[in-house]
A = this chain, B = another copy of it.
């Protein structure tokens, strides 16, 4: 995959969109400069998930922004998404790769050194270090690894990494300085009064980190 797509990676959460339609929030965020979008739906029916995925795919295609589906390989296949993001409780990586083929992006959530070492044996396209900071977005997560953890895990990984969990304007730059190739952002964009401005500001911070 093109590693620059990892830079500002929006992960959706309809529960955090403050009542605004998901597609609208994503569209604004895209205008603000997000480089990849992950559709994460934990409550939707398969039909609803599929229809949302098709809508997002249509929105993102002209921008050449990859659409990644969280967990559900069937939805990824059904909407011909660019990739799939799996966690440690989702389909095993080898099964997902076999069914998706070599040309699709597969990202894997890692929480510790053991997960990173296992990922090193696989041709995952990126790892998502999770959670970096404490967050209210997900309640079923492992303890935060912090910036020190990001440093340790990115050093061990043969794959490019993004950090996720409590990432916002104030700490995004530190993630890059700790070795991540990008940041995964949920509420700092999904819940922002202007998702577009929020994305722009984080993108600017990330540019500074690379200078």
Residues on A close to B: CB < 8 A? 45-48, 50, 71-74, 77-78, 86, 88-92, 95, 99
Contact = CB atoms under 8 A, between A and B. Distances in A.
A71 B90 contact: no
Contacts of A72: 46, 74
B99 A45 contact: no
Nearest to A95: B78
Contacts of A91: 46-47, 50, 74, 78
A51 to B, nearest CB: 9
Most chain B Cβ neighbours within 10 Å, of A46, A72, A77:
A46
B89 A45 contact: yes
A70 to B, nearest CB: 10
25 contacts: A45-B89, A45-B90, A46-B71, A46-B86, A46-B89, A46-B90, A46-B91, A47-B89, A47-B90, A47-B91, A47-B92, A48-B89, A50-B92, A72-B74, A73-B74, A73-B77, A73-B78, A74-B74, A74-B77, A74-B91, A74-B99, A77-B99, A78-B91, A78-B95, A78-B99
Nearest to A51: B92
Contacts of A50: 91-92, 95
Given A45-B90, A50-B91, A73-B74, 11 more contacts: A45-B89, A46-B71, A46-B89, A47-B88, A47-B89, A47-B90, A50-B92, A74-B74, A74-B77, A78-B91, A78-B95
Among A74, A86, A89, A90, max chain B CB count under 10 A is at A74
A177 to B, nearest CB: 34
